[in-house]
Amino acid sequence: MSPLLVKANKAGGKIVEVTPASAGWTHVGFAAHRLPAGESLQLDTGKRELCIVVLTGTLTVQAGGQTWENIGNRQSVFEDRSPYAVYVPLDTAVGITAVGNAEVALCSAPGITH
Q: What is the CATH number of the domain that holds 53?
A: 2.60.120.10
* Per-residue model confidence (pLDDT) at position 69: 96
- Mean of the pLDDT values across residues 16-35? 74
- Mean of the pLDDT values across residues 48-76? 95
Does 28 map to a domain?
A: yes
Does 24 map to a domain?
A: yes
- Mean of the pLDDT values across residues 36-41? 96
User: Is residue 91 predicted with pLDDT exceeding 90?
Assistant: yes
82 close to 114: Cβ distance less than 8 angstroms: no
Average pLDDT, the chain: 86
Task: For residues 45 and 106, give the distance between their C-alpha atoms in angstroms, rounded to a whole number.
Answer: 10
* Per-residue model confidence (pLDDT) at position 1: 42
Residues 19, 83, 77, 64: what is their CA dihedral angle, to the nearest 10 degrees?
40
Q: Could you count the other beta carbons within 10 Å of the beta carbon of residue 59?
A: 26
Task: For residues 59 and 48, give the distance between their C-alpha atoms in angstroms, rounded to a whole number.
Answer: 22
Does 2 map to a domain?
A: no
pLDDT-derived band of residue 59, with 50, 70 and 90 as boundaries? very high
